Structure 1
Amino acid sequence: MTLGDGGLSGVEILEAAAEGRLKVLFLWGEDLLCTFPGSVAEKALSALDFLVVQDVYLTPSAKKAHLVLPALTPAEKEGSYTNCEGRVQVVRKALEPPEGLMETGVLLREIASYMGKEWEARSSKEVFSEIKGKVAPYAQVDPSEGGFRGSDEPLKAVFQPPEGADLQEEKGYPYILMIEGLFHNHLLGLGGERRDKGLGAIVPGAYLEMNEEDAKELAVENGDKVKVISPWGEVVVETKVGRDIRKGVLSLFTGLYDVDGCALVGEVDPSSKVPSFAKIPVRVERQ
């Protein structure tokens, strides 16, 4: 899936803001300081003349905003999500939102009206039908009567690997890293701001999983702390040694955002223009 002419990807929007080419930004339900490489997002948000954030929580990004607007929770709206596996999942409204709280689509139409543009009001089903007509992989998902029917199989979309991700061993990065999370940061917060204390009691902390042979070569055992270094940053994390991961491949589990995996990310997918959280070249140093 590629971007249409004239639009910018998330990374390109941040670059434009940091360079002063973009003055105003409106964020919906996204905490850029958690989901994009931190230094890039920090510089971009700080350079804006006006930042508006619409969200359920006062996230780190929202704290930088000039204006914060309330958003609907998933239980108060309908539509669909496409998860990381490519499956379309249906969301149906279970609760009526508080009086005066607008859906994002309604709010956008109001803003457009103030700017002299009249946008047609459309239902979630109508919007999804338009997506089907413009984005080929969604053609296999059929809206059913009274709502949506989620996809039984993942959407078939092709994403290219980041250019330059295959840094050779002679350049000092002999391992390939994958970064895995667990929950969306909206449910958690960061550090001392964590909103759900119960999850911290049952979810393991951050760790780096590696193959037994790699651990032996590095003289690393379970629980040892190591420094993971990419061309763009570094983190310190405990290790977990096992047989279920291939030699030469590492997996960083960020836990409840106990470590900043974004610090290791630099390359973007050349097609989707989003950061790559897989196939990151790294080296490991025992602490």
Structure 2
Amino acid sequence: MTNTIGDLETADVILATGTNTTENHPVISTFIKRAVEKRGAKLVVIDPRKIRLTNFARKWVRQNLGTDVAWINGLMHVIIKEDLYDKAFVSKRTAGFEDLKAMVEKFTPAFVESITGIAADDIVEIARLYAKARAASIVYCMGITQHTTGTDNVKSLANLSMLCGHLGIEGGGVNPLRGQNNVQGACDMGGLPNVFTGYQPVTSEEARKKLEAAWGVTGIPDKPGYTVTEMIPKAIEGTVKALYIVGENPMVSDPDLHHVKHGLEALDFMVVQDIFMTETAQLADVVLPSACFAEKEGTFSNTERRVQRVRKAVEPPGQARDDWRITAAISTAMGFPMGYDSAEQIMAEIAKLTPSYGGITYERIDRVGLHWPCPTPDHPGTPVLHTVQFPIGKGKFHAIDYIPPAEQTDDAYPLYLTTGRIIYHYHTGTMTRKSEGLNERAPENFVEISAEDAGRYGIEDGSMVTIASRRGKIKAKAAVSEKGVAGTVFIPFHFAESAVNELTHAALDPVSKIPEYKVCAVVLEKA
């Protein structure tokens, strides 16, 4: 997030898209609801489903799946045409405006309506509302990123925010809500194939030399590795021989699960390190039991970039160990001793080698966390990014055209499927589906379908249905709901016994390599 969670309450306009905030980020949703109810903020929700957040919206519109670039370009078309953009911000702090202007010229409200299904008048109204705000915040989640055009979607939202000068100010910004706790911290610590900690590129000789000196090694590779979604095909090809999977359950969470299982079974060796015996762990050659969050010391970096202490509350069961202790023991056994004594000692090394974490110590975050960048011990942290300039100097507008989803409906597969979460379960259900109370509230999978489609296919609420795509088939109960939209069904991905990712498309965003979980073609019938 460029801004803080609390900052949402100071926004005049909040544009929420691709986020079912009340169910996926219920704490953050309270800040949005308070901004609306207590401060009169105007909430705009752009989402294909009638999610609960729409009850608080000044304006809610439904877009056709996978058409986000089109409606964002449509907003910018209106803002430029009506001369509503922030000329001073664009002139002083951005580059590439003319290219953007030329690209969005064709995205008239009528043209956008033909692509997205959003009424032309609504495009105009939302554009004016966003552009005229003193401070407007954009909030999004995986409904924006999990597309073959996910990177384009994110860049387009950044274009919109820069165009109106809503970056670098209180109550503004572009604010992605992370999908899991500490996923921000994992990325910060180099949990990506092309960077070291603090997003220092592996291609940077300066960064490699610094780390080599600190660790007493030579020859750190300068070539980026594979993303998760690239590893499975490489395993099938035989290029990847072994995988070490920590705290991840790809046998439920990855797309096209038949393909995933084929890839994992093709490996020579697989290790899974987790707190429970997951569906993926059941395929492993070795399973290493690890401690959960309440059983260890360390830090989390949350979605607003705040680094916070985590303190041990209980002892881990059985042979379970801290993840860092397992990693250190394996490294030592392989010939590179890691002689750490504590998580605090590791944090000190992180601060030493990571510019954006340079001033973060256990002492400084003992009670209240700090937002990175925090480069020095006397730095107060950075709650709001880009207040003076962008890291590259001037922010770059990207002229982006609309590209349709990778898979379209046809006579054989006439419905679109989109996936997501529900409030009672979390991710692949590794923890939540072992909770009696949560299972009582949400015991099994379901297919959310509109009343119109239910009538068309002769399906009754609560009846069993079969859903098939070009990749697989599952069964689940029908849930006829006003949340649904005609032509599209929704299925959560928590339930391994009828895993929706048997159906989803493995087509990837060419930059981020994220799969297109949010759009695929299916056929539905009575079971």
- Following TM superposition, by how much is the alpha carbon of 1:205 offset from its aligned partner in structure 2, in angstroms? 2.2
Please say if residues 166 and 281 of structure 1, whose CA atoms lie closer than 8 Å, have aligned partners that are also in contact. no
Alignment length, in residue pairs?
265
- What is the 5 A alignment of 1:118-133? 123-124=346-347, 127=350
2:271 aligned to 41, 49, 52, which one? 52
Cα pair distance change 1:277/1:204, threshold 3 Å: same
Q: Which amino acid counterpart does residue 438 of structure 2 have in structure 1? A: L
Moved more, 92-101 or 223-232: 92-101
Q: Which amino acid counterpart does residue 240 of structure 1 have in structure 2? A: A
2:331 equivalent in structure 1: 112
2:425 matched to 1:185?
Answer: no
2:491 equivalent in structure 1: 252
Cα pair distance change 1:247/1:81, threshold 3 Å: farther
Please say if residues 175 and 249 of structure 1, whose CA atoms lie closer than 8 Å, have aligned partners that are also in contact. yes
Distance in 1 (alpha carbons) for counterparts of 2:355 and 2:260: 31
Identify, as 1 or 2, the structure richer in helix: 2
Distance in 2 (alpha carbons) for counterparts of 1:263 and 1:119: 40
Distance in 1 (alpha carbons) for counterparts of 2:435 and 2:353: 38
1:192 equivalent in structure 2: none
- What is the 5 A alignment of 1:154-173? 165-170=405-410, 172-173=412-413
- Following TM superposition, by how much is the alpha carbon of 1:239 offset from its aligned partner in structure 2, in angstroms? 1.2
Q: Which amino acid counterpart does residue 103 of structure 1 have in structure 2? A: D
Cα pair distance change 1:168/1:256, threshold 3 Å: closer
- Following TM superposition, by how much is the alpha carbon of 1:145 offset from its aligned partner in structure 2, in angstroms? 3.0
2:495 matched to 1:273?
Answer: no
- Following TM superposition, by how much is the alpha carbon of 1:254 offset from its aligned partner in structure 2, in angstroms? 4.8
Provide the secondary structure at the position in 1 that maps to 2:430: helix
Cα pair distance change 1:177/1:31, threshold 3 Å: same
Distance in 2 (alpha carbons) for counterparts of 1:234 and 1:100: 39
Identify, as 1 or 2, the structure richer in strand: 1
Provide the secondary structure at the position in 1 that maps to 2:262: helix
2:220 equivalent in structure 1: none
Please say if residues 3 and 272 of structure 1, whose CA atoms lie closer than 8 Å, have aligned partners that are also in contact. no
Distance in 2 (alpha carbons) for counterparts of 1:246 and 1:132: 47
CA-atom RMSD, angstroms?
3.8
Q: Which amino acid counterpart does residue 145 of structure 1 have in structure 2? A: I
2:324 matched to 1:80?
Answer: no
Please say if residues 32 and 61 of structure 1, whose CA atoms lie closer than 8 Å, have aligned partners that are also in contact. yes
Distance in 1 (alpha carbons) for counterparts of 2:295 and 2:518: 33
Long gaps (5+) in structure 2:
1-150, 152-191, 195-222, 373-382, 385-399
2:501 matched to 1:262?
Answer: yes
Using structure 2 for the length normalisation, give the TM-score: 0.43
Provide the secondary structure at the position in 1 that maps to 2:410: helix
CA shift digits 1:151-183 (9 cap, x unpaired):
989xxxxxx9xx873533335333221223422
Provide the secondary structure at the position in 1 that maps to 2:483: coil
- Following TM superposition, by how much is the alpha carbon of 1:131 offset from its aligned partner in structure 2, in angstroms? 7.3
Percentage of pairs with the same residue:
22
Distance in 1 (alpha carbons) for counterparts of 2:299 and 2:479: 39
Please say if residues 179 and 278 of structure 1, whose CA atoms lie closer than 8 Å, have aligned partners that are also in contact. yes
- Following TM superposition, by how much is the alpha carbon of 1:28 offset from its aligned partner in structure 2, in angstroms? 0.8
2:426 matched to 1:203?
Answer: no
